[in-house]
Amino acid sequence: FENMGAKLVSEVASKTNDIAGDGTTTATVLTQAIVREGLKNVTAGANPIGIRRGIETAVKVAVDELKSIARPVANKEAIAQVAAVSSRSEKVGEYISEAMEKVGNDGVITIEESRGMETELDVVEGMQFDRGYLSQYMVTDNEKMVADLENPYILITDKKISNIQDILPLLEEVLKTSRPLLIIADDVDGEALPTLVLNKIRGTFNVVAVKAPGFGDRRKAMLEDIAILTGATVITEDLGLELKDANMAALGQAAKVTVDKDSTVLVEGAGDADAIANRVNVIKSQLVSTTSEFDREKLQER
Protein backbone atom coordinates (compact mmCIF):
# COMPACT_ATOMS: atom_id res chain seq x y z
CA PHE A 1 0.00 0.00 0.00
CA GLU A 2 2.91 2.34 0.72
CA ASN A 3 4.24 1.80 -2.81
CA MET A 4 0.76 2.44 -4.23
CA GLY A 5 0.50 5.66 -2.25
CA ALA A 6 3.94 6.82 -3.36
CA LYS A 7 3.03 6.22 -7.01
CA LEU A 8 -0.20 8.17 -6.52
CA VAL A 9 1.65 11.17 -5.08
CA SER A 10 4.24 10.97 -7.87
CA GLU A 11 1.49 10.99 -10.50
CA VAL A 12 -0.21 13.98 -8.86
CA ALA A 13 3.05 15.94 -8.87
CA SER A 14 3.84 14.93 -12.46
CA LYS A 15 0.42 15.97 -13.80
CA THR A 16 0.63 19.28 -11.95
CA ASN A 17 4.02 19.96 -13.50
CA ASP A 18 2.75 19.06 -16.99
CA ILE A 19 -0.19 21.44 -16.70
CA ALA A 20 1.35 24.35 -14.78
CA GLY A 21 5.08 23.83 -15.14
CA ASP A 22 5.43 24.25 -11.38
CA GLY A 23 3.57 23.57 -8.14
CA THR A 24 4.82 20.04 -7.50
CA THR A 25 5.60 20.78 -3.84
CA THR A 26 2.20 22.36 -3.25
CA ALA A 27 0.45 19.43 -4.95
CA THR A 28 2.37 16.95 -2.79
CA VAL A 29 1.57 18.82 0.44
CA LEU A 30 -2.14 19.05 -0.45
CA THR A 31 -2.25 15.35 -1.36
CA GLN A 32 -0.67 14.41 1.96
CA ALA A 33 -3.17 16.56 3.87
CA ILE A 34 -6.15 15.09 1.97
CA VAL A 35 -4.95 11.53 2.60
CA ARG A 36 -4.25 12.20 6.29
CA GLU A 37 -7.60 13.83 7.02
CA GLY A 38 -9.45 11.36 4.79
CA LEU A 39 -8.04 8.34 6.62
CA LYS A 40 -8.80 9.99 9.97
CA ASN A 41 -12.47 10.39 9.03
CA VAL A 42 -12.77 6.90 7.50
CA THR A 43 -11.28 5.41 10.67
CA ALA A 44 -13.85 7.36 12.69
CA GLY A 45 -16.63 5.70 10.66
CA ALA A 46 -17.33 8.22 7.90
CA ASN A 47 -18.56 6.98 4.50
CA PRO A 48 -15.61 7.02 2.02
CA ILE A 49 -17.92 7.93 -0.88
CA GLY A 50 -19.29 10.85 1.10
CA ILE A 51 -15.75 12.01 1.87
CA ARG A 52 -14.83 11.88 -1.81
CA ARG A 53 -17.88 13.94 -2.77
CA GLY A 54 -17.03 16.43 -0.06
CA ILE A 55 -13.46 16.72 -1.34
CA GLU A 56 -14.69 17.30 -4.91
CA THR A 57 -17.09 20.00 -3.72
CA ALA A 58 -14.37 21.67 -1.65
CA VAL A 59 -11.95 21.57 -4.59
CA LYS A 60 -14.46 23.37 -6.82
CA VAL A 61 -15.05 26.06 -4.19
CA ALA A 62 -11.31 26.52 -3.63
CA VAL A 63 -10.53 26.70 -7.37
CA ASP A 64 -13.32 29.22 -7.99
CA GLU A 65 -12.01 31.38 -5.15
CA LEU A 66 -8.44 31.21 -6.46
CA LYS A 67 -9.62 32.21 -9.94
CA SER A 68 -11.53 35.17 -8.53
CA ILE A 69 -8.50 36.57 -6.72
CA ALA A 70 -5.86 35.61 -9.31
CA ARG A 71 -4.12 38.36 -11.24
CA PRO A 72 -3.23 37.45 -14.84
CA VAL A 73 0.42 37.88 -15.78
CA ALA A 74 -0.25 40.07 -18.78
CA ASN A 75 2.96 41.99 -19.46
CA LYS A 76 6.72 41.69 -19.53
CA GLU A 77 7.20 43.40 -16.17
CA ALA A 78 4.81 41.03 -14.39
CA ILE A 79 6.54 38.01 -15.93
CA ALA A 80 9.90 39.36 -14.76
CA GLN A 81 8.57 39.75 -11.21
CA VAL A 82 7.24 36.18 -11.05
CA ALA A 83 10.40 34.76 -12.59
CA ALA A 84 12.59 36.78 -10.22
CA VAL A 85 10.76 35.38 -7.19
CA SER A 86 11.04 31.79 -8.47
CA SER A 87 14.71 32.10 -9.42
CA ARG A 88 15.64 34.44 -6.55
CA SER A 89 17.41 36.65 -9.07
CA GLU A 90 16.17 39.84 -10.71
CA LYS A 91 18.64 39.38 -13.56
CA VAL A 92 17.38 35.87 -14.32
CA GLY A 93 13.81 37.20 -14.13
CA GLU A 94 14.65 39.79 -16.78
CA TYR A 95 16.17 37.16 -19.06
CA ILE A 96 13.12 34.91 -18.73
CA SER A 97 10.63 37.71 -19.39
CA GLU A 98 12.61 38.81 -22.44
CA ALA A 99 12.73 35.24 -23.73
CA MET A 100 8.97 34.80 -23.27
CA GLU A 101 8.29 38.08 -25.03
CA LYS A 102 10.38 36.99 -28.03
CA VAL A 103 9.19 33.40 -28.47
CA GLY A 104 5.48 33.88 -27.65
CA ASN A 105 3.02 31.27 -26.38
CA ASP A 106 4.11 28.56 -28.84
CA GLY A 107 7.83 29.04 -28.25
CA VAL A 108 10.02 26.77 -26.18
CA ILE A 109 12.44 28.06 -23.55
CA THR A 110 15.35 25.89 -22.47
CA ILE A 111 18.16 26.57 -20.01
CA GLU A 112 21.63 25.22 -20.68
CA GLU A 113 24.97 25.53 -18.96
CA SER A 114 27.00 28.36 -20.46
CA ARG A 115 30.40 27.68 -21.99
CA GLY A 116 31.59 31.06 -20.74
CA MET A 117 31.19 33.21 -17.64
CA GLU A 118 28.25 35.27 -18.87
CA THR A 119 24.51 34.56 -19.06
CA GLU A 120 23.25 34.91 -22.62
CA LEU A 121 19.87 34.87 -24.34
CA ASP A 122 19.85 33.10 -27.71
CA VAL A 123 16.64 33.18 -29.77
CA VAL A 124 16.21 30.61 -32.54
CA GLU A 125 13.36 31.28 -34.97
CA GLY A 126 12.72 27.96 -36.59
CA MET A 127 13.13 24.34 -35.58
CA GLN A 128 15.80 22.34 -33.82
CA PHE A 129 16.25 18.57 -33.60
CA ASP A 130 18.88 16.39 -31.95
CA ARG A 131 20.89 15.08 -34.87
CA GLY A 132 24.31 16.36 -35.96
CA TYR A 133 26.45 16.02 -39.08
CA LEU A 134 27.52 12.53 -40.16
CA SER A 135 31.07 13.67 -40.87
CA GLN A 136 33.13 16.39 -39.24
CA TYR A 137 34.61 17.14 -42.68
CA MET A 138 31.29 18.74 -43.59
CA VAL A 139 31.81 21.71 -41.24
CA THR A 140 32.24 25.21 -42.64
CA ASP A 141 33.77 26.67 -39.46
CA ASN A 142 36.68 24.57 -38.21
CA GLU A 143 37.10 26.67 -35.08
CA LYS A 144 33.51 26.28 -33.86
CA MET A 145 33.10 22.89 -35.59
CA VAL A 146 29.73 23.85 -37.08
CA ALA A 147 28.34 23.81 -40.60
CA ASP A 148 26.47 26.96 -41.60
CA LEU A 149 24.39 26.72 -44.76
CA GLU A 150 22.97 29.94 -46.19
CA ASN A 151 19.75 29.62 -48.20
CA PRO A 152 20.10 25.84 -48.65
CA TYR A 153 17.92 23.32 -50.41
CA ILE A 154 16.75 20.49 -48.15
CA LEU A 155 16.25 16.85 -49.15
CA ILE A 156 14.12 14.84 -46.70
CA THR A 157 13.76 11.07 -46.86
CA ASP A 158 13.18 8.14 -44.53
CA LYS A 159 15.41 5.98 -46.73
CA LYS A 160 19.07 5.05 -46.35
CA ILE A 161 21.34 6.55 -49.00
CA SER A 162 24.17 4.12 -49.80
CA ASN A 163 24.51 4.48 -53.57
CA ILE A 164 25.40 7.98 -54.76
CA GLN A 165 23.83 7.16 -58.13
CA ASP A 166 20.40 7.25 -56.47
CA ILE A 167 20.66 11.01 -55.92
CA LEU A 168 23.25 11.99 -58.55
CA PRO A 169 20.74 13.58 -60.98
CA LEU A 170 19.35 15.67 -58.12
CA LEU A 171 22.84 16.68 -56.95
CA GLU A 172 23.67 17.85 -60.46
CA GLU A 173 20.53 20.02 -60.55
CA VAL A 174 21.33 21.56 -57.15
CA LEU A 175 24.94 22.14 -58.22
CA LYS A 176 23.71 24.30 -61.11
CA THR A 177 22.12 26.70 -58.60
CA SER A 178 25.37 27.15 -56.61
CA ARG A 179 23.37 26.72 -53.42
CA PRO A 180 24.20 24.34 -50.55
CA LEU A 181 22.23 21.20 -49.74
CA LEU A 182 21.12 19.66 -46.45
CA ILE A 183 20.30 15.95 -46.61
CA ILE A 184 18.08 14.51 -43.87
CA ALA A 185 17.92 10.73 -44.28
CA ASP A 186 17.60 7.49 -42.34
CA ASP A 187 21.36 7.22 -42.87
CA VAL A 188 24.04 8.03 -45.43
CA ASP A 189 26.70 5.33 -45.74
CA GLY A 190 28.42 3.07 -48.27
CA GLU A 191 30.00 4.99 -51.14
CA ALA A 192 27.57 7.89 -50.74
CA LEU A 193 29.05 9.46 -47.60
CA PRO A 194 32.73 9.54 -48.68
CA THR A 195 31.68 10.83 -52.12
CA LEU A 196 29.77 13.72 -50.55
CA VAL A 197 32.65 14.46 -48.17
CA LEU A 198 35.22 14.42 -50.98
CA ASN A 199 33.19 16.89 -53.05
CA LYS A 200 32.77 19.10 -49.99
CA ILE A 201 36.53 19.12 -49.28
CA ARG A 202 37.32 19.90 -52.93
CA GLY A 203 34.89 22.81 -52.85
CA THR A 204 32.80 21.30 -55.63
CA PHE A 205 29.66 21.08 -53.59
CA ASN A 206 28.61 22.38 -50.15
CA VAL A 207 26.55 19.60 -48.60
CA VAL A 208 25.79 18.41 -45.07
CA ALA A 209 24.12 15.09 -44.23
CA VAL A 210 22.34 14.29 -40.95
CA LYS A 211 20.31 11.37 -39.72
CA ALA A 212 16.55 11.79 -39.44
CA PRO A 213 15.38 12.52 -35.88
CA GLY A 214 13.29 10.13 -33.80
CA PHE A 215 12.33 6.52 -34.40
CA GLY A 216 9.39 4.64 -35.92
CA ASP A 217 6.13 6.56 -36.19
CA ARG A 218 7.60 9.53 -34.33
CA ARG A 219 10.32 9.79 -36.99
CA LYS A 220 7.67 9.91 -39.72
CA ALA A 221 5.82 12.66 -37.85
CA MET A 222 8.97 14.72 -37.29
CA LEU A 223 10.04 14.40 -40.93
CA GLU A 224 6.60 15.65 -41.92
CA ASP A 225 7.04 18.56 -39.47
CA ILE A 226 10.31 19.49 -41.17
CA ALA A 227 8.76 19.09 -44.62
CA ILE A 228 5.87 21.41 -43.78
CA LEU A 229 8.23 23.97 -42.22
CA THR A 230 10.49 24.04 -45.28
CA GLY A 231 8.00 23.36 -48.07
CA ALA A 232 9.52 19.98 -48.95
CA THR A 233 8.03 16.61 -49.88
CA VAL A 234 9.23 13.63 -47.86
CA ILE A 235 10.70 10.98 -50.17
CA THR A 236 9.08 7.89 -48.68
CA GLU A 237 7.51 4.65 -49.85
CA ASP A 238 4.37 5.70 -47.97
CA LEU A 239 3.85 8.20 -50.81
CA GLY A 240 5.09 5.78 -53.46
CA LEU A 241 8.32 7.76 -53.91
CA GLU A 242 11.86 6.49 -54.48
CA LEU A 243 15.12 8.42 -54.20
CA LYS A 244 15.47 8.37 -57.98
CA ASP A 245 12.13 10.22 -58.16
CA ALA A 246 13.44 13.17 -56.13
CA ASN A 247 13.56 16.43 -58.07
CA MET A 248 13.98 20.13 -57.31
CA ALA A 249 10.26 20.51 -56.64
CA ALA A 250 10.53 17.98 -53.78
CA LEU A 251 13.24 19.96 -52.00
CA GLY A 252 12.54 22.28 -49.10
CA GLN A 253 14.29 25.57 -48.41
CA ALA A 254 15.32 27.67 -45.42
CA ALA A 255 17.04 31.00 -44.89
CA LYS A 256 19.77 29.31 -42.84
CA VAL A 257 20.70 25.94 -41.39
CA THR A 258 23.27 25.42 -38.64
CA VAL A 259 24.54 21.92 -37.86
CA ASP A 260 26.94 20.89 -35.11
CA LYS A 261 27.94 17.43 -33.92
CA ASP A 262 24.75 17.02 -31.85
CA SER A 263 21.97 19.12 -33.36
CA THR A 264 20.49 20.78 -36.43
CA VAL A 265 18.74 24.17 -36.45
CA LEU A 266 16.50 25.25 -39.33
CA VAL A 267 15.81 28.99 -39.49
CA GLU A 268 12.98 30.62 -41.46
CA GLY A 269 11.71 27.66 -43.43
CA ALA A 270 10.03 28.43 -46.75
CA GLY A 271 6.88 26.42 -46.01
CA ASP A 272 3.35 27.77 -46.37
CA ALA A 273 2.36 29.81 -43.30
CA ASP A 274 -1.16 28.36 -43.16
CA ALA A 275 0.16 24.80 -43.42
CA ILE A 276 2.62 25.47 -40.60
CA ALA A 277 -0.14 26.96 -38.42
CA ASN A 278 -2.38 23.95 -39.11
CA ARG A 279 0.44 21.58 -38.18
CA VAL A 280 0.97 23.43 -34.90
CA ASN A 281 -2.76 23.12 -34.13
CA VAL A 282 -2.69 19.38 -34.87
CA ILE A 283 0.22 18.88 -32.47
CA LYS A 284 -1.57 20.93 -29.82
CA SER A 285 -4.72 18.82 -30.13
CA GLN A 286 -2.66 15.62 -29.88
CA LEU A 287 -0.99 17.02 -26.78
CA VAL A 288 -4.37 17.55 -25.14
CA SER A 289 -5.79 14.14 -26.06
CA THR A 290 -2.81 11.87 -25.36
CA THR A 291 -2.79 9.79 -22.17
CA SER A 292 0.82 8.65 -22.50
CA GLU A 293 3.47 10.55 -20.54
CA PHE A 294 6.11 9.57 -23.11
CA ASP A 295 3.98 10.76 -26.03
CA ARG A 296 3.20 14.00 -24.20
CA GLU A 297 6.90 14.68 -23.67
CA LYS A 298 7.73 14.05 -27.32
CA LEU A 299 4.83 16.19 -28.54
CA GLN A 300 6.00 19.03 -26.30
CA GLU A 301 9.44 18.77 -27.89
CA ARG A 302 7.91 19.11 -31.35
Encode pLDDT of 146-177 as tens digits: 999 999 999 999 999 999 999 999 999 999 99
Task: Report the pLDDT value the prediction gives residue 105, as an integer from 0 to 100.
Answer: 67
Report the distance separating Cα 189 and Cα 198, nearest Å. Answer: 14
Q: Which residues of the chain have pLDDT under 70?
A: 1, 21, 105-108, 110, 112, 124-125, 301-302
pLDDT of residue 23: 84
- Do β-strands 153-156 and 252-259 pair in parallel, antiparallel, or remain unpaired? antiparallel
∠ Cα 217 218 224 (to 5°): 95
Please tell me the predicted confidence (pLDDT) of residue 227: 95
Domain 127-271: which topology?
GroEL (3.50.7)
**Local structure of 118: helix, strand or coil:** coil
- Cα separation, 190 vs 133, in Å, equals 16
Hey, where are the domains in the chain? 2-69, 76-123, 127-271
Distance CA 106, CA 23 (A): 21
**Can you give the pLDDT at residue 98?**
87
pLDDT attached to residue 112: 65
Write down the pLDDT at residue 125: 67
Tens-place pLDDT, residues 228-243: 999 999 999 888 889 9
- For 252-269, how does the pLDDT look when each residue is reduced to its tens digit (9 = 90+)? 999 999 999 999 989 889
Distance CA(84)–CA(75), nearest Å, equals: 14
What does DSSP assign to residue 235? B
